């Protein structure tokens, strides 16, 4: 069946000029925004998603914004046979791999589900890519791979260690990629370590659509503002930070999406001079914002009231972390451009136009 697995030309697809990208998890929050930026940059996109945490309405709206239809395959990255078929049918330059589960708490309760989906799923995908000689790979990693004791701004050489199965699954994939590029120098892999993605497309048509009560701060704030939730519980006010509340490096999802285009462009540039191997790159703004600062910024920029209450710390949280964004600037020629005000305005625009998300 997989006649394309025998590469008759014996040429690594790293060396062709194909613009076609497989986006796994492309119906999800970050994937959908990235499809728009990829298409705007001239890439052809094929989306592969099992819809376990997303809604096809997001893809429809993504197509509307992009002004282009996007081929879609409903499938699981654990379904190797289907992946082979997809690689038989399309000649990909590379893969951006968003597909994965991401709830830290759930990963503690159901570790096997997380390791299977995030680690085994990635292994299956990498094996299929290798069989089809497609060796350009951009991976959704997370700042959670950094050891807690590292001081901010955290750069890419900082120590790594994780406490949750979710974090471990990201770290394991990074180790796998590091070993893979040693075994086969034709691979170009970029592990993008996201800080805290927030915001939505400025059109208000697509955005983050958490199922149930949100775990993360920005969707929680937006749902309080829109009246779906009563008030925000601020977890901890005695941290050693500017105002006692936790500090994070929030990054607008549109900036983040553009970071993926920059990562692909870096891989492309390298195909002329050899493969890239493995590069880990932070995607953040390099600036920390406290919970209270974010709440105030949201209120001022949207003219909405966000009721809140200071409560106990959330177990597992740390006081502050933000990234060093210098490597991204130098290597990718990319830096975040959108501000905290943009993040708040766009989150609110999406939330107020779609109080129930895509449903």
Report the C-alpha gap between 281 and 269 in whole angstroms. 17
Helices (H), 22-103: 29-40, 56-66, 80-89
Report the C-alpha gap between 111 and 115 in whole angstroms. 6
* Residue of the chain from 246, 286, 288, 323 that contacts ligand UFG (CB under 6 A): 246
**Residues with active-site annotation:** 166
Can residue 140 be called a binding residue for ligand NAD (CB under 6 A)? yes
246 binds, among ligand UFG, ligand NAD, none (CB under 5 to 8 A by kind): ligand UFG
Q: How would DSSP label each residue in 293-318? A: HHHHHHHHHH-----EEEEPPPTT--
Can residue 34 be called a binding residue for ligand NAD (CB under 6 A)? no
Can residue 30 be called a binding residue for ligand NAD (CB under 6 A)? yes
Can residue 54 be called a binding residue for ligand NAD (CB under 6 A)? yes
10 dihedral zone (left: phi>0; alpha: psi -120 to 50; beta): left
Residue 27 beta carbon to ligand NAD: minimum distance, rounded to whole angstroms:
4
Q: With H, G, I as helix, E, B as strand and everything else as coil, classify residue 196.
A: strand
In the structure encoding, which two tokens stand for residue 293, read together? 């600062």
* Residue of the chain from 7, 11, 15, 52 that contacts ligand NAD (CB under 6 A): 52
* Residue of the chain from 37, 49, 249, 342 that contacts ligand NAD (CB under 6 A): 49
Report the C-alpha gap between 120 and 173 in whole angstroms. 9
Peptide bond before residue 153 is cis, with ω within 30 degrees of 0 = yes
102 or 345, CB closer to ligand UFG? 102
* Residue of the chain from 96, 234, 276, 292 that contacts ligand UFG (CB under 6 A): 234
Report the C-alpha gap between 308 and 291 in whole angstroms. 11
Can residue 347 be called a binding residue for ligand NAD (CB under 6 A)? no
Residue 237 beta carbon to ligand UFG: minimum distance, rounded to whole angstroms:
9
Q: Provide the 10 A C-beta neighbour count for residue 184.
A: 12
211 or 314, CB closer to ligand UFG? 314
* Binding residues vs ligand NAD (CB under 6 A): 24-25, 27-31, 49-54, 76-78, 98-102, 117, 121, 140, 142, 194, 197
């Amino acid at each position: 069946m997989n006649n394309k697995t025998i590469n008759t030309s014996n040429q690594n697809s790293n060396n062709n000029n194909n613009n076609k990208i497989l986006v796994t998890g492309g119906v999800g929050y970050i994937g959908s925004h990235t499809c728009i930026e990829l298409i705007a940059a001239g890439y052809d996109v094929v989306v592969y998603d099992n819809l376990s945490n997303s809604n096809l309405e997001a893809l429809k709206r993504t197509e509307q914004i992009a002004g282009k239809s996007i081929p879609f395959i409903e499938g699981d990255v654990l379904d190797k046979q289907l992946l082979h078929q997809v690689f038989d049918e399309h000649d990909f330059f590379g893969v951006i791999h968003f597909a994965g589960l991401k709830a830290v708490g759930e990963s503690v309760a159901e570790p096997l589900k997380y390791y299977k989906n995030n680690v085994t799923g990635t292994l299956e995908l990498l094996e299929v890519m290798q069989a089809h000689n497609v060796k350009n790979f951009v991976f959704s990693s997370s700042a959670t791979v950094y050891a807690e004791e590292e001081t901010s701004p955290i750069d890419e050489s900082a120590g790594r260690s994780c406490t949750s199965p979710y974090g471990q699954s990201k770290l394991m994939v990074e180790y796998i990629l590091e070993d893979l590029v040693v075994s086969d120098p034709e691979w170009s892999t970029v592990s993008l370590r996201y800080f805290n993605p927030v915001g939505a497309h400025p059109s208000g048509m697509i955005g983050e659509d958490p199922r149930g009560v949100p775990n993360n701060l920005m969707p929680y704030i937006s749902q309080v503002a829109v009246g779906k939730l009563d008030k925000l519980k601020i977890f901890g006010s005695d941290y050693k930070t500017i105002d006692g509340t936790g500090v994070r490096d929030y990054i607008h999802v549109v900036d983040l999406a553009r970071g993926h285009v920059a990562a692909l462009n870096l891989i492309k540039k390298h195909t002329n001079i050899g493969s890239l191997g493995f590069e880990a790159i932070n995607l953040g703004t390099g600036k920390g914002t406290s919970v209270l600062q974010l709440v105030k910024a949201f209120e001022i920029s949207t003219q909405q009231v966000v009721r809140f209450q200071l409560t106990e710390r959330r177990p597992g949280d740390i006081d502050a972390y933000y990234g060093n964004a210098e490597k991204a600037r130098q290597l990718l020629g990319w830096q975040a451009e959108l501000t905290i005000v943009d993040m708040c305005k766009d989150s609110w625009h999406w939330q107020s136009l779609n109080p129930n998300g895509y449903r």
